[in-house]
């Protein structure tokens, strides 16, 4: 579901794949994050890498694009998606806890997408800085903070093997997503007019 908001008035391992700029990927291979859809093993369509000790790999992307008239507004479209034909699992190692672990990797991506939206809505964009400032926000939240959280999650849960930690992370991420429910927009329009400039 798209919303608009205007401000002008292991057992599991994740492959962090960020898709940027103009989005050319076939949508039939994507599952866009939604609070009502949970990943299933059938969503992991790529052939497993049997030579690795990894039991599952989730490919997650951040497709986004923006347009601007260069004077008054910037429009941003941003999503998080699970890429089915790049994600895989070893059938012999599939279980409910591992699937839940992979789902939480996807949820962590959505959490960081919402953090990007929040920062975009709070930023002081101008016609001279909007490209640089948007790139700075995405680099900080997605390329740094998101990757750090994913790594910490795998370490704390030992790739889903430490059940107590997995439960703690499930609760934590779920609460953080709820805390950012005001920023679940996938389309955002922001003003480039700054009267203080």
Q: What is the pLDDT of residue 5?
A: 28
What percentage of the chain has pLDDT greater than the value 90?
82
Q: What is the pLDDT of residue 4?
A: 29
Residue 101 CB neighbours (<10 A): 27
Q: What is the pLDDT of residue 3?
A: 32
Residue 42 CB neighbours (<10 A): 8
* The three-state (H, E, C) secondary structure of 15-76, written as one string: EECCCCCCCCCCHHHEEECCCCCCCCHHHCCCCCCCCCCCCEEEEEECCEEEEECCCCEEEE
106 sits in which H/E element: helix 96-122
> What pLDDT, in 10s, does the model give residues 78-92?
999 999 999 999 999
> What pLDDT, in 10s, does the model give residues 31-67?
999 999 999 999 999 999 999 999 999 999 999 999 9
Contact criterion met (CB below 8 Å) for 63 and 12:
no
> What pLDDT, in 10s, does the model give residues 106-154?
999 999 999 999 999 999 999 999 999 999 999 999 999 999 999 999 9
Q: What does the alpha-carbon distance between residue 119 and residue 70 come to, in Å, rounded to a whole number?
A: 20
Predicted structure pTM score: 0.87
């Amino acid at each position: 579901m798209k919303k608009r908001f205007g401000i002008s008035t292991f057992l599991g391992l994740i492959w962090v794949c960020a898709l940027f700029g103009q989005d050319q990927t076939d949508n039939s291979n994507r599952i866009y994050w939604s609070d009502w859809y949970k990943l299933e093993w059938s969503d992991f369509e790529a052939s497993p890498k049997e030579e690795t000790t990894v039991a599952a790999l989730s490919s997650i992307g951040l497709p986004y694009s923006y347009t601007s008239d260069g004077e008054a507004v910037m429009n941003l479209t941003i999503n998080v998606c699970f890429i089915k034909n790049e994600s895989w699992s070893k059938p012999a190692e599939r279980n409910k806890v591992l699937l839940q672990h992979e789902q939480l990797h996807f949820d962590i991506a959505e959490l960081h997408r919402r953090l990007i939206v929040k920062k975009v809505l709070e930023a002081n964009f101008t016609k001279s800085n909007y490209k640089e400032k948007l790139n700075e926000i995405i680099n900080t939240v997605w390329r740094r903070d998101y990757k750090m959280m994913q790594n910490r999650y795998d370490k704390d849960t030992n790739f889903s093997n430490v059940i107590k930690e997995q439960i703690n992370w499930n609760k934590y991420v779920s609460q953080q997503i709820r805390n950012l429910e005001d920023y679940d927009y996938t389309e955002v329009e922001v003003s480039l007019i700054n009267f203080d400039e």
